[in-house]
Structures are given as C-alpha cells and as structure tokens.
Structure 1
Amino acid sequence: MTDDQWFREAVVYQIYPRSFQDSDGDGIGDVPGIIRRLDYLQQLGVDVLWLSPIYTSPQDDNGYDIADYQDIDPTFGTLADVDELVEQAHARGIRIVMDLVVNHTSDEHPWFVESRSSKDNPKRDWYWWRPARDGYTAGEVGAEPTNWESFFSGPAWELDEKTGDYYLHLFSRKQPDLNWENPEVREAVYEMMRWWLDRGVDGFRMDVINMISKVTSLPDGEPLPATPQLGDGTPHFLNGPRIHEFLQEMHRAVFEGRPEKLLTVGEMPGVTVEDAILYTDPERHEVDMVFQFEHVGLDIGAHKWDRSRVDLRDLKASLGRWQEALAEVGWNSLYWNNHDQPRAVSRFGSDAPEHRVASAKLLGTVLHLHRGTPYVYQGEELGMTNVPFATADDFLDIESVNYYRLASGAGGNVEEILANLRLGSRDNARSPMQWDDSANAGFTTGQPWAPANPNYPEINAAAAVADDDSVFHHYRRLIELRHTEPAVAHGDFRLLAPDHRALYAFTRSHDGTDLLVLANFGTDELDLTGPELADAIDVTGWDSSTLLLGNLDDPASPTAPLRAWEARILRR
C-alpha cells in the first residue's frame, strides 16, 4: 500500500461536538471536551476523528449553517482549542478531519449579508437570486422562481422583502445556496480550505458536495404526489453538469503538492455506483470516497417518514453491489450510523435487552469486514439505542419539527406521526454521549441541550471499558483486526447466500488468506450444515479454520449452528 492510500487501513470516528462532551457546564459539548476524551478514543484504536461543524453559526441547523468558516463558535471553544486538539490528537497518532459545508452558508454570513443588501452589490451573484415567476407578483402563492421543494419541507425559495427577489435554499431558509458558477465563490472556498490545512487539519468531509453544481436555467421539477404544488428539483442539482470539473479544480487548488496525503470524503445523496466510480477513481483526482445513501434508504417508503423493517436480502444486495462495483477502481465508505441517521442497533439489529449487545457486535462485525473504510459514530461502539421520545415537544431537530408541524396541521394521525418520528428522527443520533451512570450520563454538569437517553445507567462508556466482553471491546478488536490482518483492508469480497432471509455471509481473500464472515440476523438458530442452508452456502473445508473473532461464547466448532444474533470471523 502506498502512503497516499493509508485510509484503506484506517477507521474513522465521527464526533457530533454538541453532544459529545461538555467541559464547562453550559450543557453543550465543546472542543475542550473532545480533548478530554482523546485517551478513550486512542484506547478504541481509531485513526481519524471527523468533527461535525464547530464554526461560528446561529445554529439554525445545529452548525450546518455557517456564518464564519475561519472561526469557531464560542459555544464550542476557540481556535486555540482547535489547535490544541490537532496537536494532542496527532501526538496520539490520530488525524483530524473537518466538516466542509460549502453548498450553502448561513444567511448571517457576511457574504450573504452583502449579497442581499442590494441588487447591484458585488456579491449579489455569489448566491442564487431570481425574480418572481412570470405572471406573478413577489409574495403571491406560487410566485417562487421554480417549484423545487426544500429538503426541510416547503418551497426551496425565500422572498427577500428589501430587494423583491427570491434566494434559493435547498435546506433551511437560513441556509442560502452558494453560486458555484461564480469563480470568485470557488476561490474564496479554496482559500478557506488551504487556511485550515495550513493549521494542521488532515482533510475534509464535504457536506452534500454533489449539489454544488446546478443546471443554471433552474427548471421546474416533476410535481410531487403528496404536494403537487411543489416539485422534485433533484435532477437539476444532484451530480450537476459541472460537478466533476469543480472537484478536480478543488483538488488542484487545495490538495495538489501537499507533502502528506489528506482525506477527502464526499457526502453525495442520490449517487449511483457508476457515479461513485468516477468520483473516487484516484486517476481523476476528485475525492477518496463518497458517502452514499442507498442502504440507509431501504427502510423508507413513499417519503422519509414512511418506515418499515429492512429486508436483509435487500440490504445484502445493496451493499454487495457497491462492493462489486468499486472492487477494481475507487473505494467504499462503510457506515450504519451518523448524525443524520437513527441508531443502527434499533434500526438494523435488536435493541431488546436480551439481544442488544449481541446484535450491536454483529452489526460492527459485518460492516468492518466489508471492503472500504469504516466509520464509527459516537456511541455506536457502546450499542447506544434510539431515544424513547414521549411527545412532539421532545423533538428538537428542525427537520423533525417541520414534519410534525406540517403533517399534524394537514390532519394526520398524531400517534402515527410520532411513531414515524421515533423511528427516523435525527434526534436519535444527537442525544448526549453516554459516558457513565452519573447525572446526565456524565456528559455535562449543567442542563444538557438535549436530554440523555434514560437507559444511560446501563449503557455507558465507563461500564463498557470495564467489561472485556462489551460492545466497546468488540469494536476495539475489530479495529485492531483491520490494522493487523491484510485481508480485512485489502482482500477481495464475495457475497454468499444472497437470497437467505437471515444469514449474512461473505468471504474476503488476500495473498493466500481466506476469511469467512457469518452473521445470523435473527433469533432462530441457523444450522450451517443442515438441509435448509445446503443450497445457500457450503462451509465444507472450514471445520478446521481459526475463529478470529466472535460475538458470543466460543462455538463448539467453527461451523456449529449460529445462535441468535451470532457473528463469526473465520480464517484459513
């Protein structure tokens, strides 16, 4: 492996700073709190810390609305704190990756304040401004320049009363979209990125980066079934016409010629495997890997809040397709959780007390043994679960609040709406990190910005670190395995038993070493040598293999029946 491919043997840990560790008792996590927990992260064995945004922000979207890219929000600390974090992390062999949010800014960013000040301001063209639709007066219903729907509900256009024009915001109305067609915008972004790299950070996770190139005519989208007055604009801004050009220009302007290989990860909703090959081909110099959303969309029906249990066969087909497509060119990112997704053990595993630990370990085993770079979201290594929200007032995330307001206002069944929110809300991932069994889970000595999950007395880091059989230590062993067994990071991937409803099985092969991964996604025992699985998988030749890692007590033999939520990694 060359030095510029180091990320293939790495494991990334995502920190949502607001919820990770509070150091000053104000109820909000901060950078000094992260520094305080570096020894814990070093013990876990992770190689990279990805920080969700800590820049100056009004916090309309919990920091993804940035008012100053080159300063830290006082809520999280100071630039000096970030410098110390970088220094302390590097001393432990851990790299730091910042979140890069440049599809949009806050409406309080000086760039936008100037842009909206007048129609002839030099920065007017730094954002997408348009007059009312032909035949309409600004402010009338339907006068928006296009029918695009915002990801946070409602029209993607907001009227500015002072100038009488509308500005585009694919997300919150306080998150106006930057106009990447303007070369001054691009150079300002690149200059900011270089500034951070010069401070010692090791790369960027790029938020919705495949939305920065829009079809400049901004055509209407197809009407949406549920809200026909609004349309689907995604064909006109997902993987837009100049996206590859912009990313290659970014590489030349920011990363080319740097002495060390930096990590670039593109979050790309709607990306296909064919797109990903282009984005991640090292010869094209765009990004190292992409976050794709196919597998985390399998339990979603007509809309995000229409939820069902994932069919394991669909999950295997999806992940397997990405493994196969990027086998020769490009690279996969691997994740179950992040700050935008519900907790994995509640979603893909079982959060029932009798199965939570086993299923959390199983999910880690399956994911980390795929080919790609695994991402661990804070608390995943503890088996943290979804939060039992009681009422609508318990939800804090803007996306969840907007959905409840619109759905209940339209006469929807309140209990059904709440049930959907409990399953899918981003608030599930944003409850405080559960450090110990003291008040507020050891997250803060003050009033937490969001309440801790009430199960923290049983599920917490202190208890997990002290228990050698915990989810934490299973993740630690998985990470160590990636560092020490070349087949984990570099082996070929072959999916087995694709049509079985409960068995997830695959092999990894590298330089004469074969690994077999077996996982039972259910409570019924699976006889690997019995007639039910005879046509699905052949374990002949694995009887004398070595059990590298399992999530339950050692089985009678490597190919003994798989117990409820059992996972094994075999080597021969």
Structure 2
Amino acid sequence: MAPTPWWKNASIYQIYPASFQDSNGDGIGDLPGIISRLDYIQSLGVDAIWVCPMYDSPQYDMGYDISDYEAVYAPYGKVADVEALIAGCHARGLRILLDLVINHTSHEHAWFRASRSSRTDPKRDWYIWRPPRYDPATRQRQPPNNWRSFFGGSAWAWDEPTQEYYLHLFAPQQPDLNWENPATRQALYASAMEFWLQRGIDGFRVDTVNMYSKPQDFPDAPILDPSNPYQPAASLFCNGPRMPEFLTEINQVLRKYRPHGDAITVGELPATPDRSDVLRYVSAAANQLSMVFQFDIVDCNMGADLRFNTVPHTWTLSDLRARVAATQTLMDGSTDGWSTAFLENHDQARCVSRWGSPGKHWEKSAKMLAMLVASLSGTLFLYQGQEIGMTNAPNHWDVGEYKDVDSVNYYRYVQESTDNDPVAIQNAKQALDYLARDHARLPMQWSAAPQAGFTDAEAKPWMRVHDNFKEVNVKGQTDQEDSVLGFWKALLGVRKQFPGVFAAGVYRDVDPENEEVLVFEKLGRGEKLVVTLNFGTEVREVQELEGLLKGKSWRVLVGNYEGDGMEALRPYEGRIYLVDVETATVA
C-alpha cells in the first residue's frame, strides 16, 4: 500500500509578504522579516508555508502582475533571501510553496514589451491579440467580444501603435498569455517553475489554474446584466478543453525535480460549481492537481455578478451549511479526490467579521470558526492573522484607506454609474467594509508596540495598522493560555493526532434545516467526530446530541467553553466530540 502523501494531513500557513513583517523600517514587509518569524510559524504546529508572489512586479495587483519570474520585488529582498527562506523552512521541518501565476504576466514583462512592439515580432503570438469589431450602425470601434474583466470594464485593452486589442481577464496591466503557443508554455515552465524548483521549493499554489485553455473563437458571453455592455464570461474561459494537456505538462516539469511525486500543487479553481468538473482536477487517477481551492464557502453573501452587489450580513446558516457540504462531497467515500479547508486568504475579508462577532463575542466566535474549518476534510489552510482572530478594518475608516485595485475600481464604478448618488455611495462603502480584499492585507499584529510591531515605530506602513492592535496581537495572546492563538495551536495538534477522521473523514450534516446551530458528524477509521457550532448569541439546545452519542464512548476533544459536554450551547459555543464507534460504553 502506497504511503499517504505528506500534504493529506497537513496544515499550511499562508503569508502575504507586504503585510507580514518589515525588517528594515521602510513600512513594507519583506523576506528577511518572514525568516525572522519562522520559529513562530513552527510553533503553531503547521507543516508548510505558502508565500504569495514575491516576484519582481510593478504592483498594480499586489504582485500578481509579474514582470520577471526570476527576480524578486526589490522592497521584499533578493533571490538569495528566497534561498535563505527555503533553507530556514527545511531546517525546521517546514515545506514551502510559492505562488505560480502563469495565466498572465505584467504588461512590463519583457515578453509583453516585445509582443506589443510590432505585429511581426516573434513574441506577438505569446499573448492574445485580436482585431476590433465595428458597430454596424455607427462604425465605432469595439472590443472583440463582450467579456467583462474581473476588475470591471472590458476584458480587452486597445493598443494604439499596433491597432489591435489584447486580452486581460484581470487588470489592463495583466495581459493574458497565449497557452495555445507551445513556445510560450515552455518559456513559462523554465522561468516560472524550474528556476525555483532548482532552488528546492516543495510545490506551488497555482493561480487561476482553470483559465489557460480559452475558446479560440472568443464568442460573446450571454447577457446577464443588460445595464452593462460587458458581461461575466467565466463559463466560457474557465475549464477549457486543453486543460488536462496543459496540467500534464506542468506535472512533467514537477517530476523532473521531485520524481517521487511529493511536490504539491494547489489550484485556485473559480467558476467551477459542479462536483464532476472539480473531480477532473483532483482525482488521483486523473493526476492533474493535488487539490484545489473551491470558493463555495467564501462566496457566501457575495453578489452573484459583482461581489460587492450585496447587503452585508444577510447570509443564512442554511446557505452557509449547504456551501460547507458542497466542499466536502469530494471526499464522501465514493471518489479518489482530495479537498481543501479554508475560511480566509489574501482575497477574502476576515471570517470573524463575516460569520462571527467582532464585538462582544469576538473571542468565542473566532474559536468557534476555527473549530468549523479545522473539522472539515482536506488539507487545512490558515491565513496570517487568522490564528489571533484579526478582524476587518473599522467601519469608520475613510474609503481612502482601501488600496486594492478591486476596491478602488468598484467604488469609482459606483460613483460614475450613479452620478455620486449618496445612497449608492453609502451602500458601496458598506460593501467594502464587509467584503474588500484589503481587510486581509492590513499589517500583521505582532504586539502592542507602535505599528503593532510590524515595522519601526517611526515608519509609515504601506497599509494602516488596525485600530485594535493593542488588544489583538501575537505577544499578548502568547502570554494567555486560553487565547485564540493558544486555541489554534491546540486545535492543530488535535487535528494531526486523528488524521483519519479530521482530514479524511466522511462529512454528514445532521440537521440541514437548523438556522441557528450547525451539527455535523465525520466518520473515518473506526472513529467519529460530532461537531456542534452555535452561530448566534442565544443559548441553543442540540436535540440530536443525545442520539449521536448514546451508547458510545465519547469525550469532548475541543471546546471554547468549560462544561461537561451535554449542556445547551452558549453564544458562539462550539464543541468537537470524539466518539468511538466500536464501543457500546456510555460515557
């Protein structure tokens, strides 16, 4: 029997370099800062780190616009610092993943500069260029199709010198590469993958992994928003027919350096709601990706079209639980797939501010949400600051504090499309306060010292430090045994102790209609978990609990209140019970 891959019982800690730790007082986090915190990361009990893009970049989209795959963004450090980080991780028994961003480059990448220099340049076909369309009535120039960029507006940018449009599914500064060209792919593999595999990394988080194979006739998308000339088109450019071929090539590159297959690939998989489509990527037999990020849970309470087109805090527990269940069906015992469990990352607002209570019940709800995500099957991902319960930026901050391209573009879109209607502007600000990516990018809160210990006291951090850093920080929680940080450490240890039921157990929602309490069980390897989570401020009875535990030996493995395990659930209380399914002894 083949050994279980290391990543199947792993917990992986995600690091956003700009906001983690500044080592030189310039207000920007950097690689030496990450290295200085490796002992802390090791103390959490995680198995690996994932570092968001640290490559050279003009930073229009915080490093996801790469101008040189083989260089490091100067404020973060140098290639030698990445090598030192790799060595520091491996010396502590930690593995390290880098971000693989290969759907697009920066418009400042040498390849794109050559591509746009002339229609006859050898690299012209390394990107996606198309001639304009013309309106039959007005003869006005129009983009090749009606696709909308993820950041708003057309997904096509006009290039005046060469009189053609280029495709950018994200910002205009992020032109899409042409994966139909074999020379493009080989250059990508050499520069973006092999350069770093040669230096010892253990795998990649693969950005926008399902967008490489696009329909070559570039048809118009269905009109879902008649008020907008540009339409969401993910159903057309995601999960194209050549994806298996392209991912096979990526795996061949990985096996050159990791012939035993222990390199990890974690794909970002948006716009893929069907289980059968997800399994095409994560089935062991298909051998495409180790796992993927599904967005069912984190898309809860987002607008169906634009994420900010929503009313904050109108989610229901029935919707959230259905989304949780959707991520768990990949591991229901009938497939050879694998999943991931996460509530936060660099693209999401803080989970306590979305599904918990950042006020009176902050600590209890942070611990309750930790129990939720740590009890789900798959590989667990923990985002920096989540382990101390960091929250969204305060609502009273001015909108000028938001720096993310997505936030800025949306707010400008509302201003322009509503002629600065005050109600629309207020709604837009509330949506940003709720869902903006900026919240995850506030500096890490290390201590109650000035600037939260993220940078020097006199330095100006690139993003404002949260107002609550004196109450919510690593140092303060390290000194408190019952802190959110201490709770996470204990929880990660328990999860690792029982891998068969935590990471690989089969999930079953016990009470799907309950709008106050989430109750589910996990079955695996002769053990059972029963998890009860109160998502509100009222005391709630769990009617099913006696039936789930009756006649079995059980104990509370983890809980965020004191008690014997049979009381009603107090506000934001959670409990994880371990049940021995082989015994008939009543506890």
TM-score, scaled to structure 2: 0.93
Q: CA deviation at 1:426?
A: 0.7
Q: Which residue of 1 aligns with 2:164?
A: 165
Q: Which residue of 2 aligns with 1:263?
A: 264
Q: Which residue of 1 aligns with 2:252?
A: 252
Q: Which residue of 1 aligns with 2:539?
A: 525
Would you say the 8 A contact 2:152–2:410 is kept in 1?
Answer: yes
Is 1:306 paired with 2:309? yes
In the alignment, structure 2 segments of 5+ residues that lack a partner are: 580-587
Instruction: Mark the CA change 1:32 to 1:559 in structure 2 (over 3 Å): closer, same or farther.
Output: same
Structure 1 outlier segments of 4+, above 3 Å? 1-4, 134-138
Instruction: Mark the CA change 1:333 to 1:542 in structure 2 (over 3 Å): closer, same or farther.
Output: farther
Aligned partner of 2:427 among 411, 416, 419 = 416
Q: Distance in 2 between matches of 1:3 and 1:77?
A: 38
Q: Distance in 1 between matches of 2:57 and 2:216?
A: 28
Three-state SS of the structure 1 residue aligned to 2:97 is strand
Three-state SS of the structure 2 residue aligned to 1:570 is strand
User: What is the 5 A alignment of 1:128-167?
Assistant: 128-134=128-134, 143-167=142-166
Would you say the 8 A contact 1:280–1:330 is kept in 2?
Answer: yes
User: What is the 5 A alignment of 1:172-187?
Assistant: 172-187=171-186
Instruction: Mark the CA change 1:135 to 1:549 in structure 2 (over 3 Å): closer, same or farther.
Output: closer
Q: Which residue of 2 aligns with 1:546?
A: 555
Q: CA deviation at 1:373?
A: 0.8
Q: Which residue of 2 aligns with 1:114?
A: 114
Instruction: Mark the CA change 1:129 to 1:562 in structure 2 (over 3 Å): closer, same or farther.
Output: same
User: What is the 5 A alignment of 1:31-50?
Assistant: 31-50=31-50
Q: Which residue of 2 aligns with 1:16?
A: 16
Q: Which residue of 2 aligns with 1:560?
A: 567
User: What is the 5 A alignment of 1:419-498?
Assistant: 419-445=430-456, 446-486=459-499, 487-498=501-512
Q: CA deviation at 1:242?
A: 1.1
Three-state SS of the structure 2 residue aligned to 1:62 is coil
What amino acid sits opposite 1:38 in the alignment? Answer: L
Aligned partner of 1:404 among 399, 406, 411 = 411
Q: CA deviation at 1:195?
A: 2.1
What amino acid sits opposite 2:381 in the alignment? Answer: Y
Instruction: Mark the CA change 1:202 to 1:3 in structure 2 (over 3 Å): closer, same or farther.
Output: farther
Q: CA deviation at 1:18?
A: 0.4
Describe the superposition over 1:120-169 as per-residue Cα deviations: whole angstroms up to 9, x where unpaired: 1010000000111145899x865111111111111111111111111100
Would you say the 8 A contact 1:313–1:501 is kept in 2?
Answer: yes
What amino acid sits opposite 1:385 in the alignment? Answer: T
Aligned partner of 2:522 among 508, 514, 518 = 508
Describe the superposition over 1:200-231 as per-residue Cα deviations: whole angstroms up to 9, x where unpaired: 11100011111111001111112242643112
Would you say the 8 A contact 1:543–1:559 is kept in 2?
Answer: no
TM-score, scaled to structure 1: 0.95
Describe the superposition over 1:513-555 as per-residue Cα deviations: whole angstroms up to 9, x where unpaired: 2221111111111122xxxx35x983441786211111122x1
Q: Which residue of 1 aligns with 2:95?
A: 95
Would you say the 8 A contact 2:505–2:523 is kept in 1?
Answer: yes
In the alignment, structure 1 segments of 5+ residues that lack a partner are: none
Q: CA deviation at 1:357?
A: 0.7
Would you say the 8 A contact 2:331–2:504 is kept in 1?
Answer: no
Identity, in percent, stands at 42
Q: Distance in 1 between matches of 2:237 and 2:87?
A: 38
Q: Is 343-352 or 126-135 further displaced after alignment?
A: 126-135
Q: Distance in 2 between matches of 1:540 and 1:551?
A: 19
Three-state SS of the structure 2 residue aligned to 1:459 is coil
Instruction: Mark the CA change 1:249 to 1:416 in structure 2 (over 3 Å): closer, same or farther.
Output: same
Aligned partner of 1:355 among 353, 356, 361 = 361
Q: Which residue of 2 aligns with 1:27?
A: 27
Q: CA deviation at 1:510?
A: 2.5
Q: Distance in 2 between matches of 1:117 and 1:317?
A: 50
Three-state SS of the structure 2 residue aligned to 1:519 is strand
Would you say the 8 A contact 2:235–2:271 is kept in 1?
Answer: no
Q: Which residue of 2 aligns with 1:278?
A: 280
Q: Is 100-109 or 313-322 further displaced after alignment?
A: 313-322
Q: Which residue of 2 aligns with 1:369?
A: 375
Three-state SS of the structure 1 residue aligned to 2:5 is helix
Describe the superposition over 1:353-396 as per-residue Cα deviations: whole angstroms up to 9, x where unpaired: x2111111111111111111111110000000000152221111
Three-state SS of the structure 1 residue aligned to 2:577 is strand
Q: Distance in 1 between matches of 2:561 and 2:85?
A: 37
Q: Distance in 2 between matches of 1:136 and 1:447?
A: 54
Count of residue correspondences: 563
Q: CA deviation at 1:410?
A: 1.8
Describe the superposition over 1:300-328 as per-residue Cα deviations: whole angstroms up to 9, x where unpaired: 23431123432111111122133123333
Would you say the 8 A contact 1:4–1:261 is kept in 2?
Answer: no
Is 1:232 paired with 2:243? no
Would you say the 8 A contact 1:65–1:175 is kept in 2?
Answer: yes
Would you say the 8 A contact 1:345–1:360 is kept in 2?
Answer: yes
Three-state SS of the structure 1 residue aligned to 2:117 is coil
Is 1:105 paired with 2:110? no
Three-state SS of the structure 2 residue aligned to 1:223 is coil
Q: Distance in 2 between matches of 1:82 and 1:175?
A: 24
Q: Which residue of 2 aligns with 1:52?
A: 52
Is 1:318 paired with 2:323? yes
